[in-house]
Amino acid sequence: MDPEHPTAGEGAAVLIDTFGRVATDLRVSLTDRCNLRCTYCMPEEGLQWLAKPDLLTDDEIVRLVRIAVTHLGIREVRFTGGEPLLRPGLVGIVERCAQLEPRPKMSLTTNGIGLKRTAKALKAAGLDRVNVSLDTLRPDVFKTLTRRDRHKDVLEGLEAARDAGLTPVKVNTVLMPGLNDDEAPDLLAWAVENDYELRFIEQMPLDAQHGWKRDGMITAGDILESLRTRFDLTEEGSTERGSAPAERWIVDGGPHRVGVIASVTRPFCSACDRTRLTADGQVRTCLFATEETDLRAALRAAPEDTEGGSDEAIAAIWKQAMWGKKAGSGLDDPTFAQPDRPMSAIGG
């Protein structure tokens, strides 16, 4: 096989790799900036942010999403960051992408702080649902974890998203030793009560400080053991899961479910269907990739260079990048090297 003549999709142009995986889910980082300073993501003083000329413009983002949808078989688009609600043109980007044919499913991963203000507008623009990061129900622990006193704002943002119909509202939680590792059952009870879908995520080696340690990490096994002290969990099964990163369990017979994304201890690389675009226009084949492919240069090719800047040429570069995707993240390899770029720059 080769990326120009895939066997999948009846010969249609798709983002296929040498292992036969086809990417249909695009993660688009809109900014590397964030208004929190979560301890597992970045230092208290923040980072050296990307310069504005390095960021993709609104038009460039929409164009790349259009190429992905119309030329490369992308069916789902997730807008991420940093914190995507800090992007001034977010609502307009969503609205324009909602007009594409075929229309992709669109979601947003956010810390929730700005959702109270923007949820209705995002829904009206065409956003389908949101994932909101919240690691604790305790305001004091939230302040310690994020170095900001914004817990109330996140809770209000979650309510606004639910009320606006950005459902199912999924809540992403990372448990940290000695801080919130005792909260799993309380978090699930709260999620069930408020009709949110809770997903625990193992802490991954994507922090800017490179301080992640496998020893002491709260694992999927730890989380499930804690949840079972209060709830009856029935595994949903691989058929229902498909290519989704979260293993899901039915809570107390249903209808509510809880998910665990075990990127470290139970990797799901063989079913991965994602391609990633950074805020400065780089294609990443994996969260843990150490290499990127530049699409921004092709987008900004001189007008006379019609071959370099055409939709077809950009699609070809993208296909070639994904063709070289590795079999797995390499987390279990003794030579694993953490990516230089932190999560805020990569996009979750």
Is 143 known to sit in a ligand binding site? no
Residue 147 φ/ψ, nearest 5 degrees: 60, 25
Distance between CA 200 and CA 203 in Å, rounded? 9
8 Å CB contact between 50 and 341: no
Is 97 known to sit in a ligand binding site? no
Distance between CA 348 and CA 204 in Å, rounded? 11
Is 107 known to sit in a ligand binding site? no
8 Å CB contact between 54 and 294: no
For residue 164, the Cα-to-chain-centroid distance in whole angstroms is: 21
Beta sheet of 25-29, edge-to-edge order: 233-235, 247-251, 257-261, 197-201, 170-173, 129-133, 105-110, 76-80, 25-29, 274-277, 282-284, 293-294
Cβ contacts of residue 37 below 8 Å, gap of 6+?
Answer: 43, 44, 46, 146, 147, 148
Tokens of 259: 């998910």
Supply the angle between the helices 151-164 and 184-194 in degrees, to the nearest 10: 40
- Rounding to the nearest 10 degrees, give the CA dihedral for residues 107, 113, 117, 119: 20
Of 252, 286, 249, nearest to 267 by C-alpha is 286
Is 170 known to sit in a ligand binding site? yes
Is 21 known to sit in a ligand binding site? no
Is 272 known to sit in a ligand binding site? yes
Which DSSP symbol is given to 53? G
8 Å CB contact between 265 and 257: no
Is 217 known to sit in a ligand binding site? no
Is 286 known to sit in a ligand binding site? yes
Distance between CA 12 and CA 209 in Å, rounded? 42
Per the annotation, where are the binding residues for [4Fe-4S] cluster? Answer: 34, 38, 41, 269, 272, 286
Per the annotation, where are the binding residues for GTP? Answer: 27, 78, 109, 170, 274-276
Per the annotation, where are the binding residues for S-adenosyl-L-methionine? Answer: 40, 82, 133, 204
Per the annotation, where are the binding residues? Answer: 27, 34, 38, 40-41, 78, 82, 109, 133, 170, 204, 269, 272, 274-276, 286
